[in-house]
């Protein structure tokens, strides 16, 4: 498929080299396309790793293995295949992944468990072992590449490369956090979103890295949705090479730990928003802010019910301020809500307050707001102090066109 660049795309940022991280790409040709589709990241010895993975029970072998691998807390390499998700492929899919892990481990002189593998693409087609073997051989000998090239290589229906960067100071050392992600469709938060990778030169103990990543995930990747479908391959991994020379972080009691956690959160937030901006067929980036819920988690669930509603998303696509559809979505969320306390607004203009449309409501500024590329919705449940923000995109005919032709 030849896809047009999303009108919501942002330029790829300048991510500096991160000590202990080496990027390479090659062509394994898992799909009939004229592009690189294999990314290899070599990591310094002693690199810490953390991860969050899909809860989809029909997940891929890569996810099953990754869940176990992160428990050891160490990584030496990452291999990402695009064009074939290797999910629902049984023992043949597992054999292909194990072959990749062993081939890279032999090259690096490490254990296979320190080699992480991710795959994305069509479900139900075993990863060809011959292409996997030749692809890995090629990528191990390839020239190093840029962050932007690596980001392009992990994509499938993505229309632009997605990257993010942040920095922090730990003691007297400035550390860098950089990340790349792929994702456009089959996006719904149930831990992470599609395939995302975060790298830092900071020295961080695995348990604390996991704590930071899991916390960031809850407010970023798990607060976005494009189409309510949770992928079989969703994975976000964080790697800390320790090459910045800071005193290793092991808890929030360590100097600089708060700043490091904030940098991780910042990068995850940027990456999550980029996925929504590249939602298949998306023309508008939508932020849904929910307040007045009985808890933050309840607010998040209400927000996702709104963000996942095809009726809400198509109304925004058409520039229609149909707030009755938001009322519907709040009511179906399965969370505490009171019709007579509900307030709804768009772009800072309240359309309804305390269960009633405002007598002096002027739809003109709202209609103008909905014509823009970025749309804000506000929902106040009037029940408590719980609040959350979720992000989604509109639903257009472009989504149908992309997914109807996905396997071609």
Q: How many C-beta neighbours within 10 Å does residue 361 have? A: 15
Is the C-alpha dihedral spanning 220, 226, 228, 229 positive or negative? negative
**Contacting residues for 17 by C-beta, under 8 A, at least 6 apart:** none
Cα–Cα distance between 293 and 342 in angstroms, integer?
10
Q: How many C-beta neighbours within 10 Å does residue 356 have? A: 11
DSSP H helices in 42-88: 61-69
Cα–Cα distance between 22 and 8 in angstroms, integer?
30
Pairing of strands 195-200, 173-182: antiparallel
Give long-range contacts, CB 8 A cutoff, 24+ apart: 403-408.
403/185, 403/280, 405/1, 406/1, 406/122, 406/157, 407/122, 408/1
State the DSSP H helix or E strand holding residue 276, giving kind and residue range, or none if neither. helix 257-277
SS3 170: strand
Q: 383, 343, 380: which is closest to 361 by C-alpha?
A: 343
Q: 396, 389, 380: which is closest to 327 by C-alpha?
A: 380
Cα–Cα distance between 103 and 94 in angstroms, integer?
14
Cα–Cα distance between 357 and 366 in angstroms, integer?
14
DSSP H helices in 156-256: 206-219
Q: Residue 307: exposed, middle, or buried by beta-carbon count in 10 A (0-12, 13-18, 19+)? A: buried
Cα–Cα distance between 233 and 55 in angstroms, integer?
9
State the DSSP H helix or E strand holding residue 164, giving kind and residue range, or none if neither. strand 162-170
Cα–Cα distance between 33 and 364 in angstroms, integer?
47
**Catalytic hit among 176, 193, 225, 230:** 193
- What residues pair up with 22 in beta bridges, in sequence order? 42
Pairing of strands 115-122, 74-84: parallel
| Residue 193 annotated among the catalytic residues of the structure | yes
So which residues are the catalytic ones?
Answer: 193
């Amino acid at each position: 498929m030849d896809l047009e660049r999303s009108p919501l795309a942002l330029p790829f940022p300048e991510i500096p080299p991160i000590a202990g991280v080496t990027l390479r790409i090659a062509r394994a040709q898992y799909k009939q396309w004229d592009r690189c589709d294999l990314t290899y990241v070599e990591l310094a010895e002693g690199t810490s790793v953390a991860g969050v993975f899909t809860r989809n029970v029909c997940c891929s072998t890569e996810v099953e293995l990754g869940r176990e691998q992160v428990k050891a807390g160490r990584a030496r390499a990452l291999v990402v295949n695009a064009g074939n998700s290797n999910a629902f492929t049984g023992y043949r899919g597992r054999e292909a992944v194990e072959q990749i892990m062993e081939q890279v481990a032999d090259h690096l002189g490490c254990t296979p468990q320190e080699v992480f593998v991710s795959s994305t693409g069509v479900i139900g087609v075993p990863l060809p072992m011959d292409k996997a073997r030749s692809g890995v051989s090629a990528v191990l000998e390839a020239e190093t590449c840029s962050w932007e090239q690596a980001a392009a290589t992990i994509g499938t229906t993505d229309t632009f490369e997605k990257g993010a960067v942040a920095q922090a100071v730990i003691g007297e050392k400035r550390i860098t956090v950089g990340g790349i992600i792929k994702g456009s469709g089959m996006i719904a938060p149930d831990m992470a979103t599609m395939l995302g990778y975060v790298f830092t030169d900071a020295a961080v103990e695995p348990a604390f890295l996991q704590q930071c990543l899991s916390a960031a995930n809850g407010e970023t990747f798990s607060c976005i949705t494009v189409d309510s479908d949770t992928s079989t391959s969703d994975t976000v991994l964080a790697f800390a090479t320790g090459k910045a020379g800071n005193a290793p972080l092991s808890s929030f009691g360590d100097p600089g730990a708060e700043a490091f956690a904030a940098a991780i959160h910042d990068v995850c937030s940027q990456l999550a928003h980029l996925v929504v901006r590249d939602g298949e067929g998306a023309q508008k980036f939508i932020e849904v802010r929910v307040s007045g819920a009985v808890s933050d988690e309840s607010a998040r669930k209400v927000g996702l019910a709104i963000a996942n509603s095809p009726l809400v998303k198509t109304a925004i696509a058409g520039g229609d301020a149909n707030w009755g559809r938001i009322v519907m979505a709040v009511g179906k969320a399965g969370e505490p809500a009171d019709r007579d306390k509900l307030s709804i607004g768009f772009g800072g203009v309240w359309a309804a307050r305390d269960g009633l449309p405002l007598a002096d409501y002027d739809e003109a500024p709202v209609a103008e707001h909905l014509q823009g590329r970025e749309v804000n919705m506000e929902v106040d449940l009037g029940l408590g102090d719980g609040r959350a923000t979720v992000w989604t995109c509109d639903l257009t005919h472009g989504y149908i066109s992309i997914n109807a032709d996905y396997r071609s």
